Structure 1
Amino acid sequence: MHGETARRARPRRRVSAASRDLMPSTLEGQITMEKTPSYFVTNHAPKRIHSMARDIKLIIVVRNPVTRAISDYTQTLSKKPEIPTFEVLAFKNRTLGLIDASWSALRIGIYALHLESWMQYFPLAQMHFVSGERLIVDPAGEMGKVQDFLGLKRIVTDKHFYFNKTKGFPCLKKPEDSSTPRCLGKSKGRTHPRIDPDVIRRLHKFYKPFNMMFYQMTGQNFEWELGEDSGPRGSPD
């Protein structure tokens, strides 16, 4: 999951030196964008961003929280192969079925909880939610919606993407030249470890009420309950 911020040129407000350094000046006719996966789940981020630019536009990329958690674990496992199994980390008590929601890999996927913090400072009209699943199967369609949200002409279209079967997600290309298409690095799209199907089932049950709440809050049905297979590939995030 990523959080992105975008703003058009506008009169400067008084902000901290640190904020100015992190968000460069925007010239007339430009949109400045900045992204990081941690914004959406960081408690103090909404207030700080609001104090810097309250008219900012927010883009949030989300995916099935179960798949997201497994992808998160896969990335960590590649760096720390000695960590416990996913099944061990996911439960406070597996016998009793108690999910450990304090584990960051699982807590991040409680999207409704994080969105509540953002809605204290920003109206929903300033937020755009991108489906991670649809971004893989229809990248041009999702990018079209992003461009509409930002008030941009639809420049990025189908001709800018091709599906990489090896990685399992789209790669970006420039149709006007013959350069090698740009795909994400080797650290992306890793094969997920096999997770006990019972654990996946329990996690879907755990997330379901939070997902329903998120759908209501955003006015979008991401249909995560329809695809309860975690899939063999990691996320391109």
Structure 2
Amino acid sequence: MNFIRLSLLLIILCSMLMYFIFYLFISNHNIGVRKTQDRDIEAGITIDDRLHIRIAEWNHYLKLSQSTKKTKRLPNIIGIGVKKCGTEAMITFIRQHPFIKTPNYKETFFFNEKYDKGLDYYKSQMPEVTDGELIMEKTPPYFNSPPESLPEIIKKDVPNAKLILVLCDPVKRSYSDFIHEKIKPPNLSTVTQYNSFDDYLDVYIDRVKTSLDKNNNITLKNVMSSYKNDYATTLLTTGLYSIHLPRWINTFNSSNLLILNGEKTIEDPGHQVGRMQDFLGIPRLLQPGDFVRNSRNGLYCIRPWWNGYDFKAEFNNSPDWEKNLICLSETKKGRTRHKNGKVNVTEKHIIELKNLYRSYNKELYKMLEINFEWL
């Protein structure tokens, strides 16, 4: 009898232990997070076993994704914009997933500039992939580019594609777009003659306002016309999201169009990347705790833990430990979004920009019922 009781007790204890281990695995499947006292970063794993489990899972899915012969095909995912809203961060992070592959030139400009080259050309720009891999390209100007029927053309030519759209504060976006244009070679820039964003706004805020119709609205037709005839206008009109969005949501629904908040992509990329993985129907291999702020510019990077990342160097704050992170280019991206960045414009023009966008932001909220913090 004592032997039976002892056996039952051992079984119960073993069951409790297995449940406890399973609970730890489920609740801590992500790399752990802790705060260091001397720098504002997220860091570390709590136990090596957890990392080994994640690497084993990663390798399992990597093997699955590479199990068939590679071929070229049209993209499964298209990033349609918005320009200067964090689309590069979006694709830089999601492309780390073993299921996601991107062209050598991530921005193809096919549907807005090269459509006459045909779908065979478009396919030729894509990487070779297996049946288990997904191709993603992103061309931010798609969102606001002519022709008006561009969404319908994409739907016709790539009917099963899923689209991702990133929206952000239109005031900050317009300034970032100006800086982007300003640093182009003079023969390619549309704002060379303006020494500052204020100089540009002195001309273009009034110019945009003159395109109002009889109902005091800016129409998609007018915006498309200025895109062709006066491209510098788009630095402002791109942020009139409620003008551009209807043609997209009338063609694509929530099952094939994901709309992300670009401000949160900058401040909380882990959550946004999680949403992308769910939307694309791929396993959540990239987790919020994988992201860490770059101390130089304050923007987030991702730890490549699946590829021998040196956690000890980070924990010990070793010299140059951040060189092991996957980050955006510090010279080309996030110029106005880093920790010392700001919109370098007078308060007068800030007010004018907010007034320009206010009614369109309200319309955007009505369309999406998403309360963006910049509305």
TM class, shorter-length: 0.7 to 0.9
Contact 1:128 1:149 in 2 (8 A): yes
Residue identity opposite 1:88 in structure 2: D
Quote the residue 1:217 is aligned against: 367
In structure 2, do the counterparts of structure 1 residues 99 and 207 end up closer, same or farther at CA, with 3 Å as the change threshold?
Answer: farther
TM-score, L = length of structure 1: 0.78
Q: What are the Cα deviations for residues 158-214 of structure 1, in whole angstroms up to 9, with x where unaligned?
A: 232111243231012212422711221112222446201111111111111111212
Q: Does 1:145 align with 2:263?
A: no
- Which structure has the highest strand share of the two? 1
Note the C-alpha offset of 1:224: 0.5
In structure 2, do the counterparts of structure 1 residues 23 and 116 end up closer, same or farther at CA, with 3 Å as the change threshold?
Answer: farther
Q: Does 1:174 align with 2:308?
A: no
Contact 1:159 1:175 in 2 (8 A): no
Contact 1:168 1:189 in 2 (8 A): no
Which of the residues 165, 185, 189 maps onto 1:60? 165
In structure 2, do the counterparts of structure 1 residues 175 and 32 end up closer, same or farther at CA, with 3 Å as the change threshold?
Answer: same
In structure 2, do the counterparts of structure 1 residues 157 and 88 end up closer, same or farther at CA, with 3 Å as the change threshold?
Answer: same
2:173 match: secondary structure = helix
TM-score, L = length of structure 2: 0.52
Note the C-alpha offset of 1:55: 2.6
Residue correspondences, number: 219
Percent of aligned pairs with the same amino acid: 29
In structure 2, do the counterparts of structure 1 residues 30 and 62 end up closer, same or farther at CA, with 3 Å as the change threshold?
Answer: same
**Structure ID, larger Rg:** 2
Quote the residue 1:231 is aligned against: none
- In 1, the alpha carbon distance for the partners of 2:348 and 2:363 equals 24
- In 1, the alpha carbon distance for the partners of 2:342 and 2:210 equals 20
Contact 2:143 2:244 in 1 (8 A): yes
Q: Does 1:200 align with 2:350?
A: yes
In structure 2, do the counterparts of structure 1 residues 24 and 49 end up closer, same or farther at CA, with 3 Å as the change threshold?
Answer: farther
Q: Which runs of 5+ in 1 are unaligned?
A: 9-14, 226-237
Q: Which runs of 5+ in 2 are unaligned?
A: 1-81, 92-99, 101-117, 212-222, 227-232, 311-322, 336-340
Contact 1:92 1:99 in 2 (8 A): no
- In 1, the alpha carbon distance for the partners of 2:132 and 2:126 equals 16
- In 1, the alpha carbon distance for the partners of 2:292 and 2:139 equals 25
Instruction: Single out whichever of 44-53 and 138-147 deviates more from structure 2.
Output: 44-53
In structure 2, do the counterparts of structure 1 residues 195 and 99 end up closer, same or farther at CA, with 3 Å as the change threshold?
Answer: farther
